[in-house]
Structures are given as structure tokens and as C-alpha cells.
Chain A
Amino acid sequence: MNDEYAGDSSQWAFGTGFEDPLAGVDTTVPPGVDPAELAAYCLMLGDDALIMSQRLSEWCSRAPDLEEDIALANMALDLLGQARLLLTRAAAADPGVVPVLPEGSPVPAEDALAFFRDAEQFRNVRLAEVENGDFAHVVVRLLLFSVARLAVLERLRTSPDQVLAAVAAKGVKEVAYHRDWAGRWFLTLAQGTEESRRRLEAALDALWPYQAELVAPRPGFGVDPATVRDEVDAVLDQVFAVSGVERPDRAPLPGTGGEGAHTGALAALLAEMQVVARAHPSGRW
């Protein structure tokens, strides 16, 4: 993503000027940090981004108009970039988390983690994995997801792990835009037509049982999502108030994806996402 891809920048009207979010970052695991705990934390954050990215990319060519289609693809790519850095960090901190591939396979660790783990080994929240619905569904899903993720990433910018801190600093800028996008559309659909409001409320009702998991306690290394619960609640309440939408009263789903609890939708998603990589475990891409 750096000079090797940039070529001669003078031939491009807008230049290249690509940035490497990890430039000059100390990649050693800091003293006092358990590498296995760091890896587990990066897997959780990385899997959230990877699975959410996959669901968003399924919107490609299906959005209500061209501009929103590109917006959704942009957000999918932002999250894919975060997933790559986080899975790579997990593998570097604890190589034991990486699935074993045939001798001599050129598949990098981040790909091995993405394509050669089964559903029960993924640590993502279930909000990211449930099947797509209509446009209101993706708006609500992104709002709930990005409000919580932004709050966590903001705190992770001061993580003792320099790589995680750098990934968070990059991610904050991206997810802030995702939250803005989702918040604006939430308000627009809520205050739009009878039909747009009906769809929005249906999506919110369907997805709300998955919301609590985003801020469920997670002891160990890293920012505990439970510590951002009040902030997340305040942001969501503000969006609901401005939009004139009631906070749903539905019980949270028991368990968490971080403990390996998933819906059947994840296995189906992975089957499609992983099939080509698994057919060619020694392939070079």
C-alpha cells in the first residue's frame, strides 16, 4: 500500500500519497501484556470487522441508488482493512491461533485466519453475521455496530500495544463516518414516509436483541466493551429522540459471539466466503 504500489506519482493528476497506518510503529508485544490475551482481543475486533465487511459487500449492486451502493462498498472496504491489520496482529502476537495449512502453503496468516477457521472459532458479535434485509436493516445494523465500535476504538488509541493503538487511530476516522452515514439515514427513514418508518422500526425491532452483546463485559486485555455501555446508550438515545423513535423493549439474546455462540447465518456466510480459498489451500493470490 506504499511506494511499491504508488509508482511515479507525478503521472497522476491527484498524486498518490498513500499512508501506511503502521509506519514506524513498534510491533513488539509490550512487557506485561499476555500475547495470547492480545491475540484473542485482536481476533474479536478483527472478526467483527471481517464479518460485517462481508455482509456490507453483499450489498454491492443492490443498494437503492448508485451513490449509496458505492457508500456501502466504501464502508465494507474500510472494515476489511481493519480486519486485515487486526488478524495479522493476532497471528503475530500468538502464532498458535493460526490454522495449520499444508507444508509450503504461501497463504499468509491473515488469510489463514479468515478462510480456514470454522464458524465456532469466530469471535464476532452476532449482529454482524445475521442475514441482510432491506435498506432500513443495513442502516440500523450499521448504526448499532458503529456506535459501539467507535466508542471502543476511541479508547483503544491509547492502548499499550502500539499496533492496536495505530489500528484504532485509523479506524476511528473510518467508523466515525460510518456512524454519521447510519445516523443520517436513520433520521431520514424515521421522518420520511409511513413506509420508510415502518421498515425502520421493523429492522430496529429485529436487530435490537443483538445490541446488548456489543457492550457485554469482556475481561482480560484491551478495552472492555462494557465500559462504553453508558456512552453507547447516550448516543443511541439521542438518535432515537431526534428521530422520534422509541427505544425497543426486547430482551437481549443470551450468550456472546466472543464465546463462540453464533447463529446458523455465520456458517452459511463462511461457506460462501471461504469456498475458493479452501479449494486451493496452496494457492497464490
Chain B
Amino acid sequence: MSADRREWPLYEVFVRGKRGLNHVHVGSLHAADDAMAVRHARDVYTRRNEGVSIWVVRADAITASSPDEKDPMFAPSGDKVYRHPTFYDIPDNVPHM
């Protein structure tokens, strides 16, 4: 674990499973460049037959919301029950709701 090693940037990994839907964040890893990050993601996060597609993105390229803003950002939607389609009956065979 030399000093060089620590310079490898952090990447966030997103995998899309066989059963479709979206790419889902599965974790992070270190790699020297984008191409190596995809290879590392394949080796580390798809060993159990999880994925058919991988996205990687440098962690420092992600802009995130701040925990300090939690209340003004998210609390206002907490009591808007009318925004949810909870008054419909959903048949048992409709998945992913």
C-alpha cells in the first residue's frame, strides 16, 4: 500500500440486474482509470451472476444533497398523502410498485 496506491480515485458502481429495471448502486471501488474501474466492477460486484450492465462514475463527479438540508429538502413531502396512488387496488401480479 504505497503512496502511489492511494492516488487511485474512488469510483461508484451501478449494476443493472438480469431482471431489468434500473441500474442500482451496489458499492464503490478504487481504480486507476475508467476502463479499469469497469473491469474491477465486473470482478468485485458481478461475481454472483448479478448483472448484465455496469456503470461506473468517479465519486468526485457526483453532486450530492447535504445532510444539513435534510428538513427543507425532504420533510415537506412527508405529509402529502394525496401524491401516492394508495387509493387503488393493485393486482398481486403487478410487480415493482
Q: Is chain B a partner of chain A in the same complex?
A: yes
Q: Please indicate the chain B residues that have their CB under 8 angstroms from the CB of A181 in the complex.
A: 39
How far does the alpha carbon of A15 sit from the alpha carbon of B18 in the complex, in Å? 8
Among B43-51, B57-65, B68-76, B78-86, the stretch in contact with A: B43-51
Q: How many residues of B contact A (CB 8 A)?
A: 21
Partner of B18, one of A14, A66, A184, A188: A14
Partner of B19, one of A15, A70, A74, A184: A15
Q: What's the minimum C-beta distance from A68 to chain B, rounded to whole angstroms?
A: 8
How far does the alpha carbon of A68 sit from the alpha carbon of B32 in the complex, in Å? 12
Is A65 part of the contact surface with B, judged by Cβ < 8 Å?
A: yes
Contact flag A17-B18 (CB < 8 Å), given A71-B43, A184-B39: yes
Interface size grouping (class) on chain A = 10 to 19
Q: Please indicate the chain B residues that have their CB under 8 angstroms from the CB of A103 in the complex.
A: none
B17 A67 Cβ-Cβ under 8 A: no
Q: What's the minimum C-beta distance from B3 to chain A, rounded to whole angstroms?
A: 13
Q: What's the minimum C-beta distance from A265 to chain B, rounded to whole angstroms?
A: 27
Q: What's the minimum C-beta distance from A135 to chain B, rounded to whole angstroms?
A: 12
Partner of A14, one of B5, B29, B44, B50: B50
Contact flag A16-B39 (CB < 8 Å), given A64-B5, A65-B30: no
- Which chain A residues numbered 8 to 29 have a C-beta less than 8 Å away from chain B? 13-18
B49 A14 Cβ-Cβ under 8 A: yes
Q: What's the minimum C-beta distance from B31 to chain A, rounded to whole angstroms?
A: 7
Partner of A74, one of B5, B30, B47: B47
Q: Please indicate the chain B residues that have their CB under 8 angstroms from the CB of A70 in the complex.
A: 43-44, 47
A65 B5 Cβ-Cβ under 8 A: yes
Q: Please indicate the chain B residues that have their CB under 8 angstroms from the CB of A64 in the complex.
A: 5
Most buried by B among A15, A65, A67: A67
B17 A14 Cβ-Cβ under 8 A: yes
A13 B17 Cβ-Cβ under 8 A: yes
Partner of B49, one of A17, A68, A74: A17
Is B40 part of the contact surface with A, judged by Cβ < 8 Å?
A: yes
Q: Please indicate the chain A residues that have their CB under 8 angstroms from the CB of B31 in the complex.
A: 67
B49 A67 Cβ-Cβ under 8 A: no
B43 A67 Cβ-Cβ under 8 A: yes
How far does the alpha carbon of A14 sit from the alpha carbon of B46 in the complex, in Å? 10
Cβ proximity bits B1-34 to A, threshold 8 Å, 1 near / 0 not: 1000100100000000111000000000111100
Give 6 CB contacts A-B under 8 Å: A15-B17, A15-B18, A65-B8, A65-B30, A66-B44, A74-B47
Given contacts A65-B8, A71-B43, 19 further A-B contacts (CB under 8 A): A13-B17, A14-B17, A14-B18, A14-B51, A16-B49, A17-B49, A18-B49, A65-B5, A65-B30, A66-B29, A66-B30, A67-B30, A67-B40, A67-B43, A68-B40, A71-B39, A71-B40, A74-B47, A184-B36
B interface list, Cβ under 8 A from A: 1, 5, 8, 17-19, 29-32, 35-36, 39-40, 43-44, 47-51
A interface list, Cβ under 8 A from B: 13-18, 64-68, 70-71, 74, 181, 184, 188
